Amino acid sequence: MSFWEDAVAKAPGNPRAHANLGFALAARCRTAEAEAALERALELDPAQLRAAVNLRLLREGLPLGPREPACPSRAPAPPTP
């Protein structure tokens, strides 16, 4: 993961680096950070299909790959009265 953290630090405008960092974070069930990295990848390049798929899987609590863990999805916030 430190490789992709370094890549993002050195090239903050690189959508692939953000997408790969998001995948690495998701593999460690650091879902909030993974979600932010994947969202940033899509902000930089909306055509990043892999980032979009991984973001959806992450939000649904599904594994991002066959050997990756299924992390619990975050529960939606309760509605405000």
* 3-class SS of residue 20: helix
> Which residue type, as a one-letter code, is found at position 69?
P
Buried b (16+ CB within 10 A) or exposed e, 68-81: beebeeeeeeeeee
- Mean pLDDT value across the chain: 88
Residue spans per domain, the chain: 2-60
> Which residue type, as a one-letter code, is found at position 29?
C
Token pair, residue 42, equals: 């899509």
> Which residue type, as a one-letter code, is found at position 59?
R
Using the predicted structure, report yes or no on whether residue 25 has a pLDDT greater than 60: yes
**In CATH, which superfamily holds the domain spanning 2-60?**
Tetratricopeptide repeat domain (1.25.40.10)
Token pair, residue 5, equals: 């953290």
Between these two residues, 80 and 18, which has the higher pLDDT value?
Answer: 18
Between these two residues, 76 and 69, which has the higher pLDDT value?
Answer: 69
Q: What is the pLDDT of residue 68?
A: 78
Share of the chain above pLDDT 70, in %: 86
Confidence of residue 15 (pLDDT cuts 50, 70, 90): very high
